[in-house]
Every structure is written in structure tokens, then in C-alpha cells.
Structure 1
Amino acid sequence: MTHNAFPTHTALAVQTRGELVESIHYGSLVALSPSGDTLLTRGEPAALMYPRSALKPLIAVALCRAGLSLTSQQLALASASHSGSATHQKIAAEILAGAGLSEADLGNSTDLPYGVAEREEWLRAGLGPTHLAQNCSGKHAALLATCVLNGWPLNSYLDASHPLTALIRTTVAELTGEPITAISTDGCGTEVFGLSLTGMARAFSTLTTAAEGTPEYDVAAAMRSHPTLVAGLGRDVTALMEAVPGLLAKDGFEGIQVIALADGGALAVKISDGGDRARMPAAVPALLALGVDSALLTPFDHLPVFGGGHPVGELRGLPAIH
């Protein structure tokens, strides 16, 4: 099946400078009520897109279903796009060590730490790209640990024919309620699936409302208990999870943001140009429509635009249209 139609995106966020509109970010968005009904849409949320790293919590559910047992911190990191701090890398190494493995077994791409402060510190120390520093190392460590647990091959764990890959596909399809018809390769080397924003919102709602003792519950509980492991200090995903009780959030490259509330209300955003800066401001109007207290969202609803070191404008999400 080919998927080559352009989605009908619409304006989600606008940047002003002085009295003029300077930039417009287009995209699509969906918000689901706690009962699963569509509360609002913008653009074309049914169009397929790659959720990128927003898939990680769903992948973590698959690993838990395969019997993987991790500490709460380790499970949070397995679901993370971490900043590459010493703590992040230490926990990823602990997942590997618990399975009798080391960094040499990782098959993810190498990179510098993703966090700005973490990257600067890394470079000052004269260090280069490594597997552990790369933001997906927790996920890959958990993938390998699952293979060890089940007696599956290690050197081919990223292959399309590997049993772990098949399990992940099945789990993602179940949680999103959508068939997998488009598959490519993410930046770190794992498969990434074409899914709709509606499907991703539905999946995250399932995680936040899951019964205690289920893999879905365990993943959501780990992420909500350790938001600094899901992203890192200074990252908006971490800050949002800390600000709103019970909220679960995961971003993805190319302008992806998925969020679910404790009551099951959920939303998913795709910024069409892949611009990361518009991701969170575009999500805030939908969070307001879902009933989140506006006072909790003030730090996230806009980004200041500076001129000569002084605020002269802002980047802000456009009001939600029901």
C-alpha cells in the first residue's frame, strides 16, 4: 500500500514579532474525551504519520508483556528520549548489566547527549558520540534484556523478522486500534509505524486508565513517577508532567506530542514542518478544552520572541475549535 497524499493540515501556532505575524506552524491535532469520543480536531488527525519516539511507551508495554521486569526507574528510561545525563546513562547501563550485557551489545545509533546542558558538559570533557549517550539507549537496553529473557537472538534484534519486532507490531496495533500498513526505520534503528493521531491518543488514554498490575499501568506509573527520566531537566515534557498531576506525556522528533490525563482524556499533535518549538504551545489549547487548569499551563502556552534581548513577540497556539 502506498501513502503519498498530503494531509490537510491547518494553522496550529503563530509567532508574532511586534505587530506582525512572523511565522505560522501548520499541523493536525485531535483531543479525545475520557469516554473516547472526539472532543475536537484540527487539520487531518486521521492521516498516517510516524509517531517517532512517542511510540516508546507502547514498545515498553510490549516488553513487559514479554515478561521483562524492571525497576520503576528503569522502565521509565525504557520509555524515554532522555537527555543523556550521567544518571540516564547509568540506568541504561544497569538494564544491560542486569541481563549480563554491556554497551557493546547495543545496536542503536551513536550520538552526543540530547540535552543542551548535558551535551555541553559532555563536549567539555572531550567525549564523542556513544551508544549510551544517545537518547534511545534505555529503550534499546530494554529490548536486548527482553531478548535475553526469552532466549531470542541478540545480534538481529532490530531485524523485521525478529520475534521481538513482531511482538511490538502486534502490541502497537492493539493499543492504537489500527492496523500497521506503513513501516519505516526510526533514527535509532528500530521500526517506526505509520499511525494516526487519533490512534496514538487512544493508546495513551489506555495507559493512563489501565488496571493496576497490567503492563500498561506499570509503564504509565513509571513514567509519571520519574518525569526527569522520561526527558530531562529543562525539557518541557518533564516540566509538564511535574506540573499537572496524573498527566502522561511523550514527544517525538518531527513535531510530535502525545498527552493523556489521569481521567483518560488525551490528545495528539503533529506539526507539519517538524518544528519542535511549536509542539507544546499547539497542545495547550487542547489541554484547556480537556479541562486542565489554565494556571498550570501558563509556563507552556507560549514561547517569548526576543529582539535586542527583550521580549518583542511570542509563539502561541491558536485557540481550539470544537
Structure 2
Amino acid sequence: MIVAEVVRSGFVESTHHGIVALTSGDSFGDVESPFFPRSSNKPLQTVGLLTSGLVPREEADLALMSGSHDGESFHVERVRAILDAAGLGAEALRCPADLPLGETPRNAWLRAGGEAEPILMNCSGKHAGMLATCVVNGWALDSYLEMGHPLQKALGDAVSRLAGEPIAALGVDGCGAPIFAISPLGLARAFLRLVEAEPGTPERRVADAMRAHPSLVAGTGTEDTVLMDAMPGLLVKKGADGVSAAAMPGVGAVALKISDGSSRARMPVLLSALNRLGLEMPSQPELIFGGGRPVGEVRAVW
């Protein structure tokens, strides 16, 4: 199924195929076969941290733990604060050393002579939350990323419960943590459960924290942050390889996967899917530039 096309100077030069699961209305493509949602899994894993006994310093920390931060100074400082509250230092992190994900903070870091560090990695908030949960439970810290660790078993149980289906496969994500395979429909179902849960439940606490602090979920000017800022009540979390999931209480949820892993088709298809759910989203094709001026666009066509 074609979900987006690349048009340059009026000529359709290529197309993107994908899968779009909607909890209300028509879904497109094979929405029941499992896939790895990548970082779109993070909010579900944060629910697992809370049900495993995590007591965050403040609710805003849950947004950072559920996000893929850009490595801005306020992101890094909060990761340090989470670790410090747990009696840990940055050396406890087992995510790989990296530079800030965002271009602006990355350039600033490099100009200041900085090098790659684990705390700068976009998943360091999630890892800090995992470590803090291990401290609460007295679980081993050096092996918290292993598949058989009690933390990862608890997170897998949370993902399965929220998706309403068993975990189909286990993998290792880019940050080194286990990743759980579910269907696109299961991912959409899980996101809807987050936003429609009763106030004060772990599910609703995660959704409320992300929507109240969208800059902690991603960063200044990024897709997820801009969307949640623009539409109160909307929960959004993108993932690598052309994945995204979003939900609005009382309306529905969407999960999508661009088959070739392209990120440039993700936003046009997501906005189109949210429109199909009944939300009035702006038409925002991904522009293509040539010589510094727009010469084409990536637009949803499904």
C-alpha cells in the first residue's frame, strides 16, 4: 500500500509504502502482524516502571523517561537529577555514548569541545528511570539491560497488557535495551488506553506528564513537541525507522510504520491519519528543497 509520494517539480519520483492502524475507522495494510515499535514503546515501558514501584522526583520526570530527548541542557540536567536522587552517577548508565540528537545542541556541544557521552544519548532518560526502579527494588544494576532481568520482565508484561496481546518477539534497541514486538493495532490500542485511563493511574500519569511537558519528550521545535503543544490532549511519540503513534481521548488512536524506514514520510501520513480520526490537523507535507528553495514535497496519498 502506498501511503506517501515524493513529488518534485510536479513529477512523482518515488513512493513510500507503509502500515496505518486506526482504533476507529479503516486501517490500512497488515496491522495485525508484529513489528518493533522502537521508541514509540517508551511510554508503555514507563508505565511498567511505575507499576514496578518507581517513585519519580516529580511527574515531569516521567515525560523525559518516555521520550527521545534532543540533548538540550535542560534534558541532560534532569537525567543527572534522576540519577542523583537514586544515589547514582552517570557512570551507571549502560546506553552507548552519543552526541546530542538535536542539531543545535549537538553543534553547541562540539564547539565547546565536548565528546560523546552516555548521558547525552537520546534514551538516557529511559535508562535513568530503569536504574531508579532497580534501586527501589534492590535489583542488580549492572545487568539491568539483560532480557532475563526482573526489570525487563516487568516492562514486557506492561507492554503486553497495554497492547492487549502477547509479546511476539524480543530484540535489542539502538540504546541496548530490550525492545518488544507487538502489532501496529496493539500499539494504537495501548496509546488509547494511556490517554483514556482514570486520573492517577500509572497509564494516565505517563500520558499527562508527556502532554504537560512535551519539550521533555523530544525537544525545541521537534515533531512530537510541536504537535502536543499545538493540540492540547494529544499524545504523540515517534520511533526510529518511520514509526509513530498518537492518541486523543474520546477520539481514537493511530500507529503507523513506513515500510522503508523513512522518516520524511512519517509526519504527512500521521497528520493525514489524525484527520481521518476526526481531528482538524493542518495539511503539512514534508517540503523538498533544491538550491535553498522548495521544489517539491512528500505528501500522504493513502
Q: Which interval holds the TM-score relative to the shorter structure?
A: over 0.9
Matching residue within 9, 20, 44 for 1:18: 9
Letter in 1 for 2:102: G
Query: Per the alignment, in what secondary structure is the counterpart of residue 101 of structure 1?
Result: coil
Between stretches 66-75 and 77-86, larger displacement belongs to 66-75
| Aligned match of 1:257 | 244
Q: Which amino acid aligns with 2:288?
A: V
1:164 to 135, 147, 151: 151
1:27 & 1:244 partners in 2: Cα distance? 25
Cα separation, 1, equivalents of 2:110 and 2:26: 44
1:175 maps to a residue whose letter is: L
Cα separation, 2, equivalents of 1:98 and 1:42: 45
What is the distance in 1 between the residues matched to 2:276 and 2:212? 25
| 2:263 is the counterpart of 1:289 | no
Q: 2:135 aligns with which of 148, 151, 157?
A: 148
2:46: which partner in 1? 60
Structure 1 residues 69-111: Cα deviation after superposition (integer angstroms, max 9, x where no partner): 2112211100010000110000011110000001001111111
2:186 corresponds to 1:199: yes
Residue deviations 1:248-304, cap 9 Å, x none?
Answer: 00011111000001225000010111111111111111111111113xx24xx2112
Aligned length in residues: 301
Residue 69 (structure 2) pairs with residue 69 (structure 1) = no
Q: Where does 1:1-322 land on structure 2 (aligned, <5 Å)?
A: 10-33=1-24, 39-70=25-56, 71-294=58-281, 297-298=282-283, 301-319=284-302
Query: Within 2, Cα distance between the matches of 1:261 and 1:236?
Result: 16
* Higher mean C-alpha displacement, 260-269 vs 238-247: 260-269
**CA distance in 1: counterparts of 2:61 and 2:290, whole angstroms:** 42
Distance in 2 (CA, whole Å) between partners of 1:79 and 1:68 is 14
Q: Structure 2 length as normaliser, TM-score?
A: 0.97
- Structure 1, residues 146-181: CA drift from partner, whole Å, max 9, x if none? 000011111111111111111011111100011112
Q: Secondary structure at the match of 2:120?
A: coil
Deviation at 1:309, TM superposition (A): 2.2
User: What is the rounded CA distance, in whole Å, between the counterparts of 2:99 and 2:290 in structure 1?
Assistant: 31
Q: In the alignment, what sits opposite 1:3? A: none
Q: Secondary structure at the match of 1:241?
A: helix
Query: Alpha-carbon deviation of 1:205?
Result: 0.1
Letter in 1 for 2:16: H
State, as a whole percentage, how many aligned pairs show the same letter.
46
- 1:213-239 deviations in Å (ceiling 9; x for gaps): 100010000000000100001211110
Name the CA distance, whole Å, in 2 between partners of 1:24 and 1:122: 37
Unaligned runs of 5+ in 1: 1-9, 34-38
Q: Which amino acid aligns with 1:18?
A: S
> Is the CA contact 2:215–2:225 (under 8 Å) kept in the aligned structure 1?
yes
Q: 1:312, 1:109 → 2: CA distance?
A: 38
SS at match of 2:27: strand
Question: Normalization by structure 1: what TM-score?
Answer: 0.91
For residues 155 and 33 of structure 2, what CA distance do their matches in structure 1 show? 22
Residue-by-residue CA offset, 1:40-72 (whole Å, 9 max, x unaligned): 112211121100111110010000111212112
Tell me the secondary structure at the aligned position of residue 281 of structure 1.
helix
Residues 6, 12 of structure 2: 8 Å contact kept: yes
Structure 2: 5+ residue stretches without partners: none
Taking the aligned partners of 1:118 and 1:316, their CA distance within structure 2 comes to 29
The amino acid that maps onto 1:78 is M
